[in-house]
Structure 1
Amino acid sequence: MGMALIGPGFIDLDALSDIDTGVLGLDHQPGWKKGRVWPRDYVEEGPVEMLTPEELAFQKRYAFAHLIRNGITTALPIASLFYRAWNETPEEFASAAESAADLGLRVYLGPAFRAGHSVIEADGTLTVEIDAARGRAGLDAAIAFCAAHDNTHGGLVRAMLAPDRVEYWTADLLKRTAGVARDLGVPVRLHCCQSTFEVETIRRSFGTGSAEWRHDIGFLSERALLPHGTHTDREGLRIIADSGATVVHCPLVMARHGAALNHFGDLRRAGLRLGMGTDTWPPDMILNMQIGLMLGRVMGGELDSPSSADLYDVATLGGADARGRPDLGRLQAGAAADIVVIDLAAHHLGQVRDPIAGLVASANGRDVRTVFIAGRRVMSEGTIPGFDFAEAHARAGAQFERLVAQYPRRTWRHPAVQSIFPPSYEVTRT
């Protein structure tokens, strides 16, 4: 393979699995004014599916190919529910299982489900509504999916439970979800400790912090995967660490929202289990490692912690350990043959003396050349058999524009698209 790093595949515990509308928020805030929260009149009208089954199937396959392209060999997908009628469906995830198996990606799959959502009232007030019946129905559908699809396609497809954000749940339903995960032997991922709104909602609803509440209801365990951990205090992180749960570190998407884990070095030394996630475009684990290193040093005020090896370990061993998979995240006898070859000879990398430090200093996901998953060569020299990146990119762009065109319908006061997402500079024509 020449001048290359040959290492274990990356494990993405919060893997982008759609055409990411989250990038629209980079310069367009606050989100509740930009179609990221449903207005009251849209809720009363009846939310609709803004993507067809064919579009949902395409975006999973498109995203899965890009995960492989970036050296991710095990993925736990995440997609936005903002443009869904309510939950993801078992049918679309049955299709996703087929796409993953065809491409050769190792996945943990389960339709996301929720018991509540945010609403913007006519006067601009932000509220949370809970629909416990819908939450129970979503959990039941997820249980049925797990029964039908866990450990299929030669073990390449496993199941998980994916309840939506912590502020959209009742204690009884979250407790039941954790119990089901234990009984089925599957992971359960819950986005939490990720926003000021969440912190205020949980305290208003339950009189305590998010980590404390989840501990009190018995949700936390070694099966729990918790993106993002940026909005809690040291006591909350200690509670999570003591439970054996894993915080899923997604530094890129959180840095875009002005937040960072506080802080990587101390938390690892305190025994907190950490894994990595991409969560947004680009699904570039190397970029997330780079940002994680820089933010870790800035937040900790330390010149040498975290190290490049620390981030590499979390992107490989951290995810494997979070899943209780000693056969993943490492190259050794008895491990699955998930192998990634990263080119270190390219001139844009500059001079490379230590391969791990060189990776974290200068490389990116486009430097991944060849990927093996479970011993199968799924990508060679940037090419995935049966997948045309140029054709898929064009189709994804058209699908993205169709979705953006629907934003006024579900945006507060229904402004035109040009008002929701104005250009960075005024466009003039002569």
Structure 2
Amino acid sequence: MATTVIRNAAWIVAWDTARAGHAYLNDADIAFTDDRIVQVGGRWEGIADTEIDGRDRMVMPGLVNIHSHPSSEPMNKGLLEELGSPGLYMSSLYEFMPLFRSDPAGVEAAAKVAYCELMMSGVTTLADLSVAHPNWLELLAQSGLRGCIAPMFRSARWFTANGHVVQYEWDEAAGNQAMEDAFGLIERARQHPSGRLMGMVSPSQIDTCAPELLQDAVAHARARNLPFQLHAAQSVVEFHEITRRHGKTPIQWLDSLGILGEHTIIGHAIFLDHHDWVHWPTRRDLALLADTGTSVAHCPTVFCRRGITLQDFGAYKAAGINLGIGTDTFPHNMLEELRHVGYFARVTAGNVDATKTTDAFDAATIGGARALRRDDIGRLEVGLKADLALVDIRHPMMRPMREPLRSLIYTAAERAVRDVFCDGRQIVADGKPVGFDYPAACAALEEAQARALERAPALDWARRPVEQMTPFVFPRMG
């Protein structure tokens, strides 16, 4: 039994049980023994095996990320920041994202890079939505993160042969087998000796999954008390496809199948019936999500790059929907994602009060914990898991230091995060990940991207060279 105490922490984002919310504590101690918090506030009078000087630190709960794609998204840096398909309502999902495919070495490098970025931005719990790859569990365990693996499966693949029509190639038997394989991998995660891995049932996208697959998947999740997550209402193309097939919005169709509920997370849920891009006559979707207890994983960065926003975060919260935050793109920087939550909610609503920092931080902590069906993470309270991050309040980008969370989210971001603990184990020390060599992983990813770019034109419907699909910012001379 080893006890660590952070002495005289200048700021602690503690849990106030009386008001059931986060609150600031100043100049107090926080202590944890092995993987559990044993004291928040006051002065620790017990034995301490390790003491950390907290006089220049803010201690906050480790962030909970409920939607990410570590094994693929880091590969797209320098390619997709300004790339979308005008014929497909500005989405890059169908025409471009399938082109830049990594080989196995690149998958591992991408995952390492993403895990490092997540930890350095204060994340301690991660939902990893990936296509299963051989070393997945061991990589996630090596990172030190509390990992929720979500091996994706589907009944069909999407493709475009012309850049403005999306088609689907169906193989329901293969999808069913992939689902069974995913169930087996989730069980292996539950039994992993690290004790920090869990699973999530995650059919890939609403438009690529047969209704029977969705119903079988959610039944499995409910029987085992697992979270269930599905990409839905993420593009106008998908909205039109589901309304064409079923005459209902994506959310209303899922409700008719019995998919919505407290185990379910909808990845993105942007194009609901009130969104002005879809011009649908009903106004039921927000209430359906709220009334069924369905959570929403909000990932603003990847969409705002293409002029797409939720309408809006504050309205979802006001409707009573549980919201969590994810990093559905590069960089996997949770603090920058929180910055974008606030900025784009206010722009979309035209109201500075539409979303406050409190709302975004709650979504990244207690909202995420609730979505993942965990009551032992997301807040600093005695008896909960020792998942926490230490922020240097004397970092130049945190100063002048009046309001620590605003300074962290809107200015300093990961640059001020010094140390991160998950399950009582240090996973970031002095701003660097403990489990991986971040620069080496970035170098390996760069090499993997070069290999992927060589293959990309052969995968494109028009056989375009990469520089034509995604030009450089400026032309190259010579």
Q: Same fold, TM exceeding 0.5?
A: yes
Q: Distance in 2 between matches of 1:123 and 1:332?
A: 52
**Greater share of helix residues, 1 or 2?**
1
Q: 1:298-309 counterparts in 2 under 5 A?
A: 298-309=347-358
Q: 1:258 to 1:35 in 2, by over 3 A?
A: closer
8 Å contact kept, 2:110–2:441: no
**Pairwise CA distance, 1:362:** 1.4
Residue of structure 2 in register with 1:70 after alignment = 121
Deviations 1:225-280 (A, max 9, x none): 11112111242122111111110111111211211111222221221110000111
Alignment pair present for 1:11 and 2:51 = no
The corresponding residue for 1:259 is 308
Shift of 1:302: 2.2
Amino acid at match of 2:63: F
2:112 is matched with: 61
* Partner SS, residue 441 of structure 2: helix
Question: Separation in 2 of the partners of 1:313 and 1:124?
Answer: 39
The AA in structure 2 aligned to 1:14 is: H
Structural mapping, 1:138-157, within 5 Å? 138-157=178-197
CA contact (8 A) 1:246 1:322 kept: yes
Residue in 2 aligned with 1:116? Answer: 156
C-alpha spacing 1:156/1:72, structure 2 compared with 1 (3 Å): same
Tell me if the contact between 1:247 and 1:273 (Cα under 8 Å) persists in the aligned partners: yes
Deviation at 1:386, TM superposition (A): 4.7
Matched-pair contact (CA < 8 Å) for 1:15–1:76: yes
Task: Quote the offset at 1:19 in angstroms.
Answer: 4.7
Give identity over the alignment, percent: 27
Question: 1:35 offset after TM fit, Å?
Answer: 8.6
- Do the aligned residues in 2 keep the contact of 1:108 with 1:157 (CA within 8 Å)? yes
Measured in 2, the distance between the counterparts of 1:3 and 1:409 equals 54
Q: Note the residue ranges of structure 1 that are not aligned, 5 or more in a row.
A: 40-46, 80-87
* Aligned-residue offset at 1:63: 2.0
Alpha-carbon offset, residue 36 of structure 1: 5.3
Answer with 219-228 or 128-137: which moved more: 128-137
SS of 2:440's equivalent in the other structure is: helix
| Per-residue Cα deviation, 1:171-217 (whole angstroms, up to 9, x for no partner) | 11111111111122211111111100010010111111000000000
**TM-score scaled by length of structure 1:** 0.89
Q: Does the alignment pair 1:215 with 2:255?
A: yes
Letter in 2 for 1:157: L
Q: What is the rounded CA distance, in whole Å, between the counterparts of 1:383 and 1:126 in structure 2?
A: 43
Distance in 1 (CA, whole Å) between partners of 2:365 and 2:187 is: 28
- Report the equivalent of 2:10: none
**1:82 corresponding residue in structure 2:** none
In 2, Cα distance between the equivalents of 1:287 and 1:49? 25
Q: Deviations over 1:312-331 (max 9, x none)?
A: 11111110111221210000
Name the TM-score, length of structure 2 as normaliser: 0.81
Output one character per residue of 1:266-296: Cα deviation in whole Å (capped at 9) or x when no partner. Answer: 2212211100001111111111111111112
Q: Partners in 2 of 1:57 and 1:269 — Cα distance? A: 40
Closer, same or farther: CA 305–402 of 1 in aligned 2, 3 Å: same
For the structure 1 residues 329 and 270, does the alpha-carbon distance in structure 2 shift closer, same or farther, using more than 3 Å as the test? Answer: same
What's the CA shift string for 1:12-31, capped at 9, x where partnerless? 11124125244422223318
Q: In the TM superposition, what are the counterparts of 1:141-290 in structure 2 within 5 Å?
A: 141-234=181-274, 235-290=284-339
Structure 2 equivalent of residue 347 of structure 1: 396
Q: Could you list the per-position Cα deviations for residues 87-127 of structure 1 after superposition, in whole angstroms to 9, with x for gaps in the alignment?
A: x33x52xx221122222110011321111122223696322
Look up the match of 2:381.
332
Opposite residue 290 of structure 1, the aligned amino acid is R
Distance 1:78 1:203 in 2: 26
Superposition misfits of 4+ residues, deviation over 6 angstroms: 31-35
Offset of residue 338 of structure 1: 0.2
Of the three residues 60, 85, 98, the one matched with 2:138 is 98
1:291 matched to 2:344: no
3-state SS in 2 of match to 1:363: helix
The answer as to 2:410 corresponding to 1:361 is: yes
Aligned to 1:425: 474
Q: Considering fraction of residues, name the structure with more strand.
A: 2
Matched with 2:82 is 27
CA distance in 1, matches of 2:201, 2:102: 23
The one-letter code matched in structure 2 to 1:183 is A
Q: Secondary structure at the match of 1:267?
A: helix
Deviation at 1:62, TM superposition (A): 3.0
C-alpha change, 1:54 and 1:425, in structure 2 (3 Å) is: closer
